Amino acid sequence: MIKLLRVDHRLLHGQVAFSWTQELGVDCILIANDDVPNNEIRKTAMKLAKPQGVKLVIKNISDSIKALKSGVTDKYKLFIVVESVADAYSLATAYPQIDHINLGGTKPADGTKQISKAINVTNEDESKLKELVNQGCEIEIRQVPNDKKELYKEMM
């Protein structure tokens, strides 16, 4: 069962690893990212940030979609973390059972605009988020579970 899909450019770090996994009661974290599986430094960092007693799986986006569709993840209370809105969009459109996305942090870059304290999006990101909202996906902005939930659809 997917408990949450989170977009966070830092992927797995203290805030995610502890506050969200405890709040959600998850037993498995899936890092869905095309770089980390082949980047030993980033992979090691993810393993070090993993909370004790929680399984960590690191797969590229395509393999993550295959795993979700195959049912192999069904036995877990799953927390999926991706680095970008584009990755979240890829997963949510390929696997419609993802109906809730948390925007936790996206860094500023050329061509982005800030829509909240920690969220910066491109026009393309906004189009993808609007499409997901129109398909019934709840998209919230919240860095930690104790923050007030802001719904993206109220900002559109």
Cα four-point dihedral sign 28, 33, 38, 42:
negative
Count of CB atoms situated within 10 Å of the CB of 24: 17
Q: Which long-range contacts (CB under 8 A, 24 or more apart) does 94-98 make?
A: 94/65, 94/68, 94/69, 95/65, 95/68, 95/69, 96/135, 97/2, 97/68, 98/2, 98/5, 98/137
Residue numbers annotated as active site: 13
The two tokens of residue 39 are: 């980047």
